[in-house]
Chain A
Amino acid sequence: MKPRTRRLGWIVGGLAVLGVAAALVLNAFQSNLVFFFTPSQVAAHEAPQGRPFRIGGLVEAGSLAREPNSLTVRFRVTDTAQTIGVTYTGMLPDLFKEGKGVVAQGTLDPDGTFHASEVLAKHDENYMPPAAADAVKQAQAHEAMVTKTLVKPSGGGQ
C-alpha cells in the first residue's frame, strides 16, 4: 500500500471512531440528561411527566414524616413560593435535615407527588446544594418582582 493510501486509511479510521463516539454521545445525552426544575416550575406544569428530573429547594420544616415499619419517608420541598410533596424509600443522606437544602431525582406522579429515586446531599453544613439555593433565590426574586409591580397579587409565584 502506498503511504498516501495508508494515511487516508488512518484518517478514515479516525473519523469512523469519532463518528461512533459522536453517535454514542448524542444517544446517551438524549436519554440520560437530567433537567432541573424548581418547585415553582413544577407547580406551573413545566416539568415533564413520566421522565426523571431533579427538583431542589428547602425541606419544609415540620414536613418530614415516616411510614411505620418501613424506610419510606414523606417530606415537602419548598422554594419559599411553592411546595411539592416528595416520597422516598431508602436511606436519607447524613446531611438531610428539615429546613436545609436538598436535591432529589425522580419522577412526578399524576397526582402531583414527586417519587424520588435518589436524594442527594453531597454538600457540607456550610452551604446548600447550588441547585437548591438557586431555586430559592429564583422564587424570591420572582416574589420581589411581583410585589413591586403590584400587577398580580403576591403569593401566586407562577
Chain B
Amino acid sequence: MIPEIGHFALILALLVAIAQSAVPLVGAAMGEPRLMAVARPAGQLQFLLVVVAFACLAASFVGNDFSVQNVAANSNSELPLRYRFAATWGSHEGSLLLWALMLSGWTCAVTLFSRHLPPVFLARVIAVMGLISVGFMLFVLLTSNPFERLVPPAAEGRDLNPLLQDPGMVIHPPMLYMGYVGFSVAFAFAIAALLGGRLDATWARWSRPWTTVAWAFLTIGIALGSGWAYYTLGWGGWWFWDPVENASFMPWLTGTALIHSLAVTEKRGAFKSWTVLLAIVAFSLSLLGTFLVRSGVLTSVHAFATDPARGVFILTFLAIVVGGSLALFAYRAGKVGLGGVFGVVSRESALLANNILLIVAMASVLLGTLYPLFLDALNLGKISVGPPYFDAVFYPLLAPAVFLMGIGPLARWSQASLPTLWTRLRWAFGVAVVAALLLPFTLGRWSPLIAAGLFLALWIATSSVVNLRDRLASSHQTGLLAKLAANSPSYYGMLLAHLGVAVFIIGVTLVKGYEVEQDVRLDVGQSVPVGGYEFRFLGVQPGPGPNYRAVIGTVEVRKDGRLIQTLHPEKRIYNASGQTMTIAAIAVGIGGDRYVSLGEPLAADNLGGAWAVRIYLKPFIDWIWGGAFLMAIGGLLAVSDRRYRIAMRRRDASLAAGSAAAAAD
C-alpha cells in the first residue's frame, strides 16, 4: 500500500507541476494577477507531494518491503537502519527521486523567501522551475519508477553496494544534489529575466544569495565525495579525474565563475549577458552531469545504445533545456544589454579574466570527459584520458586565475592604476615569493612545482592581509572592534572563501610534493620504516560485523622507538553480495595522515601468514577538505549579509505602501 501511495503522490506532483508552470506563464503573459498567484501555492503543494512520495520510498526501504523491486535490488534486512535509509537514494531510481525532491524543495524555498519579488517575475521563476520539475518527474515515472512492484516478492534483498555503506555516502548525495539542483534557481531567474527583457542590478541582488548557497552546497558535496573516495576506495587518492567526479566539478567551475560575474552585475551593472549565459551553462552542466552519471553511458556506451530509454530521455530533455534557453538567450540578450564600461586595469577586468580562465578550464575538463565517449560511440577506438591529461591542462590554466585572486579584491572598480596596486601589494608579493622559495627546504625537498604552489597559496593569504589592513585603516570608526564590525559579512565571506582556496592549494601542493606511498609484504611481527616512522605488523584477527565478516589487522606505528599509535585496518566480506571491501585505518593529523590498508593474504594461512600492506604518509591532505569547507562557509557568510534582507524589507515596505494606496483608491 505504501509504495502505491508514493507512486500516486508522485503522479499528483507531476500534475501540480504542470499547473505550476503553465498557469503562471500564461498569467504573466496576459498580465493577469490571479493566474500568476497560482505559482506560489502550486510550488508548495508540489513540494509536499514529493515529500510524501519520498517518505513512502524511504518507509519501504526502512521497513524491508522486498515486494518493491527497487528495495529488493538495493537493500537487505541485515543492513543497519541508517544505511537502509540512505539506500533510498543509493539506486538509480531513488537518486532521481532525491533530485526531484531537492528541486521541489528549492522551489518551495523560493516561494517562501522571495515574496518581495515583483509578482510577474516571481510567477515566471516558479513556472520555469515547474517546467524542470515536469521533465524530471516524467523521467522518473516513465523510465525509472522507484515504486515498481516485484511479483512474486523477493524473500531477501540483494544488498546495497558495500562501497555505499558508509557515513560519507549518507550525506554526500543530498549535499551534492542540493548544489546541482540549486543552480536551477539561478537558471530560472535568468530565464525569467530573459522572458521579461529586464535585467538590472536588483535582479543580480535577488539571484546572488540563491546561487551562492547552491555553490556552497556543491562545494561541500564535492569535498565529501572526495573524502569518501580517499578513505573507502583504499588507494589513498583524493581525486581521480573520473568522469563521475568531473560531472560534478564542471558545474562547480561554472558556478564559481557565475558568483563572481553576479558580483559585478550587482555592483556595477556590467557583464549582464555574460551572467545570464553562465547561469544557463551552470544548470545545463548540472543536467549533463546527471545524464553522464545516470544514463549508463560511462559504464558502457554500447550498453547505453542497447537500452536507450533513459539516456535518450535525458538527452532529449537536455537538448530542450539547453537549446531552448540558448535560443531564448540569442533572441533576447540584446534587450538585456551588456552593461557598463570599465577600464583595462580594474576589478571588472580581473573578474572577467578570472571568468574566462575558469570557463576555459571547465571546457578542457569537458573535452577530456566527453572525447573518449564520442570516440567509443563512433567506434573509432577505445581510449582513456587519465589524470596526466587533466594535470597537464588544468593547473597551467588555473594558476593565473589564482594569481588574479590576489589582485582583484584590491583593484578599484571601473578604473584602477597599476602603480598604485604595485605599491600596495609589493610587500605581500615579496613575502610570498621569499617564503615560497625557502619553505620547501624546511619541508624536505625543493622543487619548482612545490614552490609555485606555495607561492600561490601564500600570495592569496598575504594579499588578503593587505586588503583587510587597508580596509581597517581607511575606516572612520575608532577602535579595532568597531573597525572590524564596519565591514559587511559578505566582505568577510569573500576573504574566508579566498583563504579556503589558499588552504586547499597548500594541501594539494604538499600532498603531491611529499607523499610517501609504499606497498610491502609484511610477515607477522615484521616491521618496515616509512618516512621516519616504523610500522610493525602484528597480524590479523577475525572480527564480527552486522552484515559482514571482517579480518582486522593490527599495525603499531613508532617514531624514534616510541609507540605513537596502533592502527586497525580491516578487510570485510559482505554476506549478501560476497563483495570484499578494504577499510583503511587512518591516523588523521593537521600536519598529515598516516594511512594503512590491507591488501590480500600472501600465505595460505590467512590469519597467521604474511599480508600485502599498503602504507601511505599523506602530509597536509586534510587541508584539501578543510579548504573546501572554508570556501563553503565563506559563501554562507556572504549570504548572511544584511543588504539582501534590507533589499527585501524595503521592497516589502514599498509593496505594502502600494497595496495600501490601492486599497484607499
Interface residues as binary, A9-20 with B (CB distance below 8 Å gives 1, 0 otherwise): 110011001101
**Contact of B521 with A by CB under 8 A:** yes
Q: Given A21-B363, A124-B161, verify A91-B356 contact (CB < 8 Å).
A: no
Q: Given A1-B344, A94-B581, A124-B579, verify A29-B161 contact (CB < 8 Å).
A: no
A94-B382 in contact (CB<8A)? no
* A95 to B38 alpha-carbon distance, docked (Å): 54
Of chain A, the residue at the smallest CB distance from B390 is A28
* A133 to B234 alpha-carbon distance, docked (Å): 25
**Contact of B300 with A by CB under 8 A:** yes
Interface residues as binary, B340-364 with A (CB distance below 8 Å gives 1, 0 otherwise): 0101100000001100110011011
Q: How far is the CB of B302 from chain A (nearest CB, A)?
A: 7
Q: Which residues of A contact B352 (CB under 8 A)?
A: 10
Of chain A, the residue at the smallest CB distance from B233 is A122
B382-A35 in contact (CB<8A)? yes
Chain B: interface secondary structure? mixed
A92-B600 in contact (CB<8A)? yes
Q: Which residues of B contact A156 (CB under 8 A)?
A: none
* A35 to B234 alpha-carbon distance, docked (Å): 26
**Contact of B422 with A by CB under 8 A:** no
Interface residues of A in 64-90 (CB under 8 A from B): 66, 69-71, 89-90
A94-B582 in contact (CB<8A)? yes
Q: How far is the CB of A34 from chain B (nearest CB, A)?
A: 5
The bracket for how many chain B residues form the interface is: 35 or more
**Contact of A109 with B by CB under 8 A:** no
A24-B392 in contact (CB<8A)? yes
Q: Which residues of B contact A134 (CB under 8 A)?
A: 300, 302, 382
**Contact of A27 with B by CB under 8 A:** yes
Interface residues as binary, B378-416 with A (CB distance below 8 Å gives 1, 0 otherwise): 000111111011001100110000000000000000000
Q: Which residues of B contact A111 (CB under 8 A)?
A: none
B393-A130 in contact (CB<8A)? no
Q: Which residues of B contact A91 (CB under 8 A)?
A: 519, 599-600, 612, 614
Q: How far is the CB of B321 from chain A (nearest CB, A)?
A: 26
B612-A130 in contact (CB<8A)? no
B385-A33 in contact (CB<8A)? yes
Q: Given A71-B520, A124-B161, verify A21-B397 contact (CB < 8 Å).
A: yes
B614-A29 in contact (CB<8A)? no
Interface residues as binary, A96-126 with B (CB distance below 8 Å gives 1, 0 otherwise): 0000000000000000000000000010110
Q: Given A9-B344, A21-B364, A34-B384, verify A125-B582 contact (CB < 8 Å).
A: no
Q: Which residues of A contact B577 (CB under 8 A)?
A: 125
Q: Which residues of B contact A24 (CB under 8 A)?
A: 364, 392-393, 396-397
A125-B578 in contact (CB<8A)? yes
* A70 to B385 alpha-carbon distance, docked (Å): 31
* A133 to B388 alpha-carbon distance, docked (Å): 26
B383-A35 in contact (CB<8A)? yes
Q: Which residues of B contact A25 (CB under 8 A)?
A: 364, 367, 393
Interface residues of A in 22-48 (CB under 8 A from B): 24-25, 27-29, 31-36
Of chain B, the residue at the smallest CB distance from A27 is B392
Of chain A, the residue at the smallest CB distance from B303 is A130
Interface residues of B in 590-614 (CB under 8 A from A): 599-600, 602, 612, 614
B385-A3 in contact (CB<8A)? no
* A133 to B367 alpha-carbon distance, docked (Å): 25
Of chain B, the residue at the smallest CB distance from A5 is B344
Of chain A, the residue at the smallest CB distance from B573 is A94
* A106 to B367 alpha-carbon distance, docked (Å): 24
**Contact of A148 with B by CB under 8 A:** no
**Contact of B580 with A by CB under 8 A:** yes
Q: Which residues of A contact B578 (CB under 8 A)?
A: 125
Of chain A, the residue at the smallest CB distance from B577 is A125
Q: Given A21-B364, A124-B161, A125-B577, verify A94-B234 contact (CB < 8 Å).
A: yes
23 chain-A/chain-B pairs, Cβ below 8 angstroms = A1-B343, A1-B344, A3-B341, A6-B344, A21-B360, A21-B393, A24-B392, A25-B367, A27-B392, A29-B389, A33-B385, A34-B383, A71-B519, A71-B520, A71-B612, A89-B519, A90-B519, A92-B600, A94-B579, A94-B581, A94-B582, A95-B579, A124-B163
Interface residues of B (CB under 8 A from A): 161, 163, 234, 242, 299-300, 302-303, 341, 343-344, 352-353, 356-357, 360-361, 363-364, 367, 381-386, 388-389, 392-393, 396-397, 519-521, 577-582, 599-600, 602, 612, 614
Given contacts A6-B341, A34-B386, 16 further A-B contacts (CB under 8 A): A14-B356, A20-B397, A21-B361, A21-B397, A25-B393, A29-B389, A32-B386, A33-B389, A35-B381, A35-B382, A71-B521, A94-B580, A94-B581, A94-B582, A124-B579, A130-B302
Rank and list the top 7 A-B pairs by shortest CB-CB distance, nearest first: A36-B382, A130-B300, A28-B392, A91-B599, A32-B388, A32-B389, A94-B580
